[in-house]
Amino acid sequence: MSSTQHGRAAPAQLAKDMPAYAVLLVFLSAVWVESDAYRYAALATLLPVTVYYFYKDFLSDEKVLIGYMGFACIGWGLYVVARFFYSYSFHGNFGIGSSEGIYIFPLLYPISGYALFLFIRRPLVVACCFLLISFLVALYSLDLPAVVGGYRTEVVLHANPIHAAVGQGMIVLCMLPFANYLLQSSDMRPGLRAGLTVLSIATLFLGLANIYALESKGVWLALAIALPVQLLMIATVRHARRALLVIVFLSFAVLAATVVAAWDGILAVAGDTAEAAAKLLAGIFGDANVLEDVDRAIHDDALPGSFRERLMLWASAILIWAKDPIFGQGVTWLHEWQTRAYPAADYNLIHNGYLEIAIRYGIVGLTFYAVLFFWAIRQVWRAKREGVVDPAAFQAYVTVFLFFCITIFSNSNIRLALGESYMWFSAAFGFYCYYHLQKRNAVKVATWM
C-alpha cells in the first residue's frame, strides 16, 4: 500500500472506530460527572459484543480464552445471583439491602475486556480525549476564591465534595504518566506533543487545587501516599529522559511548596481527626481490648463528630460480620443492621468499602476481589513487559488502584457510580491485557478455558 493510500485509510479507520471510543469515554465519565451513564453504555455495548463472540469467535481455534479468572468472575456472579434468590425466597421478610446488584458485575468483566480488545485499536486517541475533557472539567470546577481563602468549595458536577475529590484524584494520577509517555514518544509531531504535555501538567495542578478546596481528608491521605509512589516509579524508570526527570523533580518541588503554603489550612481541616486517630491507635496498641478502646472513643465528646460516627459504623459492621465471618450476611444484612450496636450513626452506608463487602459476603468475598485485582495488576505488568501497553499505563494503573484502595477505607466508594465503574474498568483492562498476551503467545491457557 502506498503512503497516500495509507494516509486516506487511517482517517477512515479512525472515523469508523470513534463510536467505540465515545462509548468508552461515556463509561469513564463518572470521574467527571456523577451519573449512571456508564451502566447504559455497558448494557448497550456488551449485549451485541456477546452475540458477536458466540457467532463469530466461539468456534474458532484462534479465539482468546477467559482463563481461570474469567471462570472465577462468572462463578462469582452466578453465586451472588443464586444467593440473592435464596435469601429473597426464604428470608424475604428480612428485606433486601441497597446497591446489591453491583456484586453481580464481575459476571461482565471478561466480556468487557473482550470489548476493549476488539474495538480499542488506538488507545492514544482515547487518552488524548480523556486528557482534554479532564482539563476542561478541572478548569470548570476550579474555585479560586475557595483555594485562596481556605474554605470548602461548592460541588458542581458530583453529589458531594468527597465524590468530586475522588474523581479529581484519579485524574491527577493519570497526568504525570501521560506526560511521561509523551516525552518518550517519537511518532508524534513536536508541536502536538509539547501542547499535550503542557495540558497534562496544567490538568495535574488544576486537579490538585480542586482537591485542596474540596477538603476531603481521606482523599488527601490517599493522594499523599499514591502520588509520591508514582513519582518514584516514574523517576526510576529505565531509560528515563532528562526532560522527564526534570518535570518529575519540578513537580515534586512545587507539590512540596504547595503543601507548606497550605499547611495551616490542612491542619484546620484534618488536624483534629489526625489527633483523634493517633490517640485511638495509641490506646489500641497499648492494651489488648480493642473493642473497649473503640467504644471509649465513640463516647468521647471531645473527638470530632465525623470521626466518632465512622467508628460507630465500622464497629457495628464488624460485630455483624463476626456473626458469619466466612460467608457474611448476604443481601439480607440490612435486617441485622436495624439492631446494630451503635444506632446513633443513622446511615446504611458503612463508609468503608472493605466492610461493605465483608458484611455481605465475608472472607470469601474479600478473597475473591483481592485475587481478582492482584491477577489484573499482574496482567497489566506482564503486558507492560511484553510491550502490549506502555510503561506509563502501568504507572497510572497501579497508583490509581492504590489511591482507590486507600479512599475506600474511610468511604463506601465501591457503591458510587465512580467506584463501580472504576472497579469494572480496572478488571476489564486486566482481561484486555490478558487477551493481547494470548495473541502474542506470552501466556498459555488450557484450551477448555
pLDDT in tens, 359-410: 999 999 999 999 999 999 999 999 999 999 999 999 999 999 999 999 998 8
Which range is least confidently modeled, 32-36, 148-152, 173-177, 265-269? 265-269
Whole-number Cα distances in Å, 394 to 206, 228, 398: 23, 15, 6
Phi and psi torsions of 91, nearest 5°: -135, 35
C-alpha cell of 5? 493510500
pLDDT of the residue at 280: 47
The count of domains in the chain is 1
> How high is the pLDDT of residue 447?
58
Residue 327, domain member (yes or no) = no
Answer yes or no: is 248 within a domain. Answer: yes
DSSP 135-165: HHHHHHH--HHHHHHT-PPPPSSSSSHHHHH
Assign residue 185 a region (left: φ > 0; alpha: ψ between -120 and 50; beta: otherwise).
beta
| pLDDT above 70 for 91 | no
Query: Is 195 within the bounds of a domain?
Result: yes
In angstroms, rounded to a whole number, what is the distance separating the alpha carbons of residues 418 and 35?
8
More confident residue, 56 or 48: 48
Burial class (CB in 10 A: 0-12, 13-18, 19+), 16: exposed
C-alpha cell at 286: 497499648
Cell of 375: 491477577
pLDDT above 70: residue 446: no
CA distance 245 to 241: 6
Domain range for 425:
3-265+358-439
Query: In what helix (H) or strand (E) does residue 52 lie, and over which residues does it extend?
Result: helix 37-52
CA distances from 33 to 37, 130, 132 (A): 9, 13, 15
23-51 pLDDT per residue, tens: 999 999 999 999 999 999 998 899 899 88
Q: What percent of the chain has pLDDT over 90?
A: 49
Of the ranges 2-11, 53-62, 251-260, 316-325, the best mean pLDDT one: 316-325
Under 8 Å between Cβ of 201 and 256: no
Q: Distance between CA 383 and CA 391 in Å, rounded?
A: 9
What does residue 432 show for φ and ψ, rounded to 5 degrees? -55, -45
Cα–Cα separations (whole angstroms), residue 49 to 114, 124, 183, 358, 376? 8, 22, 36, 33, 21
Burial (CB count <10 Å: 0-12, 13-18, 19+), residue 305: exposed
Q: How long is the chain?
A: 449
Indicate the DSSP class of residue 57.
Answer: I
Residue 332 falls inside a structural domain = no
Distance, first Cα to last Cα, the chain? 38
d(CA 405, CA 169): 12
Question: Per the domain annotation, does 303 fall within a domain?
Answer: no
pLDDT score of 388: 94
Decide if 346 is inside a domain.
Answer: no
**Beta carbons within 8 Å of 203's beta carbon, 6+ residues apart:** 131, 134, 135, 138, 171, 172, 175
Query: 352 near 412, Cβ under 8 Å?
Result: yes
C-alpha torsion sign, points 334, 290, 282, 256: negative
pLDDT tens digits, 313-358? 988 999 999 999 999 988 888 888 888 888 888 888 898 999 999 9
Question: pLDDT band for position 233 (50/70/90)?
Answer: confident
446 domain residue, yes or no? no
Q: Considering the domain boundaries, does residue 317 fall inside one?
A: no
Q: What pLDDT does 242 receive?
A: 58
Lowest mean pLDDT among 58-62, 339-343, 438-442: 58-62
Distance, in Å, from the CA atom of 59 to the CA atom of 426, rounded to the nearest integer, reads: 28
Q: What is the band of 418 on the pLDDT scale with cuts at 50, 70, 90?
A: very high
Higher-confidence residue: 425 or 256? 425
Q: Supply the DSSP string of 197-247, one letter for each residue.
A: HHHHHHHHHHHHHHHHHHT-HHHHHHHHHHHHHHHHHHHT-TT--HHHHHH
What's the predicted TM-score (pTM) here?
A: 0.89
